Amino acid sequence: MTNLLDLVGRIFISLVFLLSGINKIGNYEGTVGWMESLGMSGGFLIPTIILEIGAPILIVVGYKVKISAALLSLFCIATAVIFHNDFSNQMQFISFMKNIGLAGGFLFLVVNGAKDFSLDKKFS
C-alpha cells in the first residue's frame, strides 16, 4: 500500500507542473508577455517548459527523483518570490503559500526518494 500511495503522490504533485508546462507551449506568446510584464525575460520560458515537463515525467516514472524534486522545489520557491509577492492581494498570498507548500512536498521526495514503484529502485 505504501508503494502505491507513493506513486499516486508522485503523480498528483507532478501533474500541476506537467500540465502547466504543456499549457505554456499552447500559449507561448501570452506567457512571454505575462513574464515580461512582471520584469522577467521571456528567454526563461523555454528552460521553464523543459523543467515543467521533464522533471514531472522523471518523478512519475521514478527516475532521478531526488534531483528532479530538488529542481522543482527551487523552482517553486523562485516563482513564489518572483511572481506572487504582492501580499496585499489575497490571491497572490495564497499562490505564494501554495508554491511554498509544493516546495515542501518536493523536499519530502528529495529526502525520501521514491519507493518500489520506480526506476530508481529497479536500477539500484
* C-alpha–C-alpha distance, residues 76 and 108, integer Å: 14
Reported pTM: 0.94
* C-alpha–C-alpha distance, residues 23 and 89, integer Å: 25
The CA-CA-CA angle for residues 11, 83, 107, to 5°, reads 40
Segment 40-53 shows an average pLDDT of 97
| Structure confidence at residue 29 as a pLDDT band (50, 70, 90) | very high
User: Which pLDDT value is given to residue 123?
Assistant: 85
User: Which pLDDT value is given to residue 67?
Assistant: 98
pLDDT exceeds 80 at position 124: no
Name residues whose C-beta falls within 8 Å of residue 10's C-beta, 6 or more positions apart in sequence.
59, 60, 62, 65, 109, 114
